[in-house]
Amino acid sequence: MANLKEIRNRISSVSSTMQITSAMKMVSAAKLKKAQDAITAMRPYADKLTELLQSLSATLDADSGSKFAEEREVNNVLIVAITSNRGLCGAFNSNIIKQTNNLISNVHAGKKIAVLAIGKKANDAFSKKGIVIDNKSTIFDDLTFDNVSEIAEMLMEKFVAGEFDKIEIVYNKFKNAATQIVMTEQFLPIVPVAGEAVNNADYIFEPSKLEIVEQLIPKSLKTQLYKGIRDSFASEHGARMTAMHKATDNATELRDQLKLTYNKARQAAITNEILEIVGGAEALNN
């Protein structure tokens, strides 16, 4: 059995860890509320914009398609991997890295792959493979639509220029504080609209329907990327809050076990001392 001093040091260490994890849990809970409100408020707008774009696109002629919908033979693929800059959030980052590796090794096997890392963890994981074309870890320092729009514009330029034939986004979709869903969405080319075209014969479009679509597509793509990063940002704080809650519970349980072990060891030490004193006294009497 460990000596009393060693057990006391372990109790002190576990108690300090418990204070840190508890503080991190409260910080993440405060940040989660703001991030959750932001993504909840944004989703209806993003969904309505996509619905409007699909409604208009479905009525266009096949030969009047957008340059962002051009289907090419897929040889060069860009994967936008969205992680966090910090750890201590459970499987939040490892799930994204695992899914990206699956896309590289299985889904797009044999193709030339590049990764745009949004978040330090993605950059650390894929820079060793030499496939990271850019690192956008600083985006979380000032997460605004304008800053994300610059990244989206860069992606659109690379696709139109023919540098990449397909661009996909991998991120964690926020469901609740305890659940994040790994999503893989095609960013470019634009996914064709399924279903029948919507009849808009009662509407007069000014300017033309094609011009409206051409203006909506870049805005919709920027919104799609912004929503993905916002989802990931909220998911990060939810995952970290959950992970720190579990860590605090585990530390509390370990501290209680150590205290019980300490009390047993202390009781055994006192009993041994009493036995030694009694034994010594009897030896003197004899």
Which active-site residues does the annotation give?
A: 89
> What is the C-alpha separation between 45 and 219, in angstroms, rounded?
12
| DSSP string of 222-284, one letter each residue | HHHHHHHHHHHHHHHHHHHHHHHHHHHHHHHHHHHHHHHHHHHHHHHHHHHHHHHHHHHHHHH
Identify the burial level of 8 via C-beta atoms within 10 angstroms of its C-beta, where 0-12 means exposed, 13-18 middle and 19 or more buried. middle
Question: Measured on CA atoms in the order 103, 105, 110, 115, is the torsion positive or negative?
Answer: positive
User: Nearest Cα to 231, choosing from 156, 179, 154?
Assistant: 179
> What is the C-alpha separation between 140 and 146, in angstroms, rounded?
13
Let me know the angle formed at the C-alpha of 263 by 260 and 266, rounded to the nearest 5 degrees.
150
- For residue 69, CA distances in Å to 47, 186, 238 come to 19, 11, 35
Q: Using an 8 Å Cβ cutoff, are 96 and 117 in contact?
A: no
> What is the C-alpha separation between 81 and 228, in angstroms, rounded?
10
Reading the block at residue 212, the tokens are 């409206």
Reading the block at residue 104, the tokens are 């590289």
Q: Which residues pair with 132 in a beta bridge?
A: 115
Residue 214: CB atoms within 10 Å: 15
